[in-house]
Amino acid sequence: MRFVNSYRDFTQIPEPDKRTFQVQKLLKRIKSLNRGEAEARNVNISVDTDPDSLETTADPYLIEQVLINLTKNAFRVLEGVADARVQLIGRFNKDNRAIIEVRDNGPGIEPESQQKIFIPFYSTERPASRGSSGIGLSLSRQIMRKHGGALAVQSDNESGTVFILRF
């Protein structure tokens, strides 16, 4: 039943209701929504935007879902990490396009798993019963594609993982 519900959710992504919004305001909301869990898990969560007035055009509610998923994933991988940190960053990339990054200083994702994590129902967690259905990253990537954007990952054992939302 869990599989069926997850598959239904994956295939029923609504069309984005795009509007222009301030990235910093959205990131601060994500921080606020996750404050309790961050404190309970002893994770420092921070927001940084450059410039502070950075705006993008997207469906803020769908992007919020993506950011919540990425933040929750970061919290899970940071379990037991000393000085655990999640950074929510908004900035322009080299092409002068708005991007949002979700960075953690966790153990990183193995290179062979970095593309598999976007496959529906694939999970790096063993057993998957720790809270991962393997659908969140696939759903997040589909949401970004519906926006004409992309979701990418960069990760290594030294510096952790960063998920990049490109608009």
If 0-12 CB within 10 Å is exposed, 13-18 middle and 19+ buried, where does residue 40 land? exposed
pLDDT, one tens digit per residue, over 68-126 is: 999 999 999 999 999 999 999 999 999 999 999 999 999 999 888 887 887 876 666 64
Share of the chain above pLDDT 70, in %: 85
Q: Which of 20, 9, 13, 31 lies closest to 102 in space, CA to CA?
A: 31
- Show me where the domains of the chain are located: 2-166
Structure confidence at residue 127 (pLDDT): 45
Distance CA 20, CA 132 (A): 32
Closest CA to 66 of 149, 154, 155, 158: 149
Q: Is the pLDDT of residue 31 over 90?
A: yes
The pLDDT tens digits for 112-123 are 888 788 787 666
Q: Look at residue 18 and tell me whether its pLDDT is greater than 80.
A: yes
56 band by pLDDT with thresholds 50, 70 and 90: very high
pLDDT at 5: 63
Q: What is the pLDDT of residues 142-161, one digit of tens each?
A: 999 999 999 999 998 888 99
> Distance of CA 46 to CAs 1, 28, 123, 151, Å?
37, 9, 26, 21
Architecture, CATH, for domain 2-166: 2-Layer Sandwich (3.30)
Per-residue confidence band for 3, with pLDDT thresholds at 50, 70 and 90: low
pTM of the predicted structure, to 2 decimals:
0.87
pLDDT band at 4 (very low <50, low <70, confident <90, very high): low
